[in-house]
Structure 1
Amino acid sequence: MRGKHRIIVSTKRLKYDFELRRNLTIIQGDSATGKTTLVDMIRDFINNPSGTPVELNCDKKCYVLEGALWKQQLAGISAGIVFIDEGNEFIKSTDFAQEIQQTDNYYVIITREALPALPYSVEEIYGIRTSGKYGTLKQSYHEFYRLYGEDTYENVVKPELVITEDSNSGYQFFSQICKENQLKCESMDGKSNVFHYLNKHRNEKILVIADGAAFGSEIDKVLQLIYGRKNVAIYLPESFEWMILSSGTIKSSTVDEMLSNPSEYIESKEYFSWERFFTAVLIEETKDSYMTYAKRKINPVYLEKTIRDAILKQMNKIELNVMKEN
């Protein structure tokens, strides 16, 4: 399944109206904010569409997944939008993560806890905003879309240390940039290690670079940890591959169209996270050329001045000094 899907759930006294863009959407928030009410209304409509006051409008069929028989229920669902209320412990399991990777559904999961087994985006974490009898979803971290801590270092981030989530081409790229500019660069070998590193290193000016497309499970605790610290900034592009594609170094109208509206191109069953999609696109677009891209090892061409400067230009308000070269 792909594309954006609008869902309108309503009764005479209450209405929810929101749009899903990716296969994984997380709804968070305190009690009495309407999360469970939303699922209850959808369940009522599913169980008794002609005998309930609830109206449900969506271009895809909606389901509620719950209970001990969730796996059997899931086996009968295809190309649908699946809602899961908090309290269903299976959402925390690697078994659940593995099962839904094999489906073509979109999932809306209500939870107050992080779900490390799932690669969900920082951009797809929502709370429910209500105004009178109307409810919609609001992005919990929209203001942190690309760059965290905009006021750090007088609006320009000048780190002493750069840490990256992975140890592949993205780390190799930034490691070389940092080496040339007498900056330290370290790989975290996984998103879960970012928090622990920041907890131990509190004095240096640190820039964290991670894939926003899959950092959703870490963002809340990381933000709480660095709250009030003026020496940490976080940059969350979709992925390093997204940065390359967005830099304009790959001349392709198809790529431009994909970047402008990824939802219409990313098949959820084939690409469980957007990071995987952008990696596949970059590999395909550069194969059999001097810009051939490999995830494991950076092609030296991406470190040549023109291309690397175009990539680094994506990092608004972050200064690694390379842009100032003569």
Structure 2
Amino acid sequence: MHGSHHLIVQSAHLKYEFDIKRNITIIKGDSATGKTTLADMVREYVLNGADTGITVSCDVPCRILEGNTWQEQLSIINSSIVFIDEGNSFVSSLDFANAIKGSTNYFVIITRENLHALPYSVDEIYGIHSSGKYNSFEPVYHELYRIYVNESESVINPDVLIIEDSNSGFDFFSSVCSDNVE
């Protein structure tokens, strides 16, 4: 799969809407932010369809991957968005990393762990932001937000730059900051 995929997962009271842009998307965050609820809604929809009152709207199928039989499950899933909820220890294994390297799927991994074996972008690590009230019958709208800000979006322009190096470091910064060298 290539490109971005817009995904809406909703029930009568909850709505998650976000774009999946790369093959690995990580969702992190504190307890009670709705991470597992998102995975549960996808699981319920995959198992029982629209009869659950949950709708999943996306241009590709959404699946759930879990348990000790993850390899068999993954072997029959193609060109889909695969959700993996936290608590599945296989996510941090080298076997899983090797299995997804050549996969045609996109993966949404809900975890609090660092996944050193997986090659994911810091631009694709998200948290869930909720707006609305949990206690009312109004729909709760969930959106993802970036945990790490892109460097190009937050440019730092210092007034003073102090360099201890009098050789190559000084030469480098002198050429980069040639307008401000004293």
Shorter chain as normaliser: what TM range? 0.7 to 0.9
Aligned with 1:320 (options 170, 173, 179): 173
Aligned with 1:146 (options 148, 151, 170): 151
The ranges of structure 1 where at least 4 consecutive aligned residues each deviate by more than 6 angstroms after the TM superposition are none
Unaligned runs of 5+ in 1: 162-179, 185-318
Alpha-carbon distance between aligned partners in 1 of 2:163 and 2:88, rounded to the nearest angstrom? 42
Secondary structure, aligned partner of 2:6: strand
Q: Which amino acid aligns with 2:173?
A: L
Secondary structure, aligned partner of 2:36: helix
| Structural RMSD (CA) | 2.5
Alpha-carbon distance between aligned partners in 1 of 2:109 and 2:161, rounded to the nearest angstrom? 35
TM-score by length of 2: 0.85
Secondary structure, aligned partner of 2:32: coil
Greater share of residues in strand = 2
The verdict on how the C-alpha distance between 1:149 and 1:21 changes in structure 2, with shifts beyond 3 A counting, is: closer
- Pairwise CA distance, 1:109: 0.3
Percent identity of equivalent pairs: 48
Aligned with 2:168 (options 182, 203, 215): 182
Alpha-carbon distance between aligned partners in 2 of 1:112 and 1:88, rounded to the nearest angstrom? 11
1:191-221: per-residue Cα shift (whole Å, max 9, x none)? xxxxxxxxxxxxxxxxxxxxxxxxxxxxxxx
Secondary structure, aligned partner of 2:86: coil
1:237-296: per-residue Cα shift (whole Å, max 9, x none)? xxxxxxxxxxxxxxxxxxxxxxxxxxxxxxxxxxxxxxxxxxxxxxxxxxxxxxxxxxxx
Query: For 1:1-326, what aligned pairs fall within 5 Å after superposition?
Result: 1-132=1-132, 133-142=140-149, 145-146=150-151, 154=158, 181-183=167-169, 320-323=173-176, 324=178
Aligned length: 170
Greater share of residues in helix = 1
Alpha-carbon distance between aligned partners in 2 of 1:18 and 1:33, rounded to the nearest angstrom? 15
1:159-218: per-residue Cα shift (whole Å, max 9, x none)? 658xxxxxxxxxxxxxxxxxx95229xxxxxxxxxxxxxxxxxxxxxxxxxxxxxxxxxx
Unaligned runs of 5+ in 2: 133-139
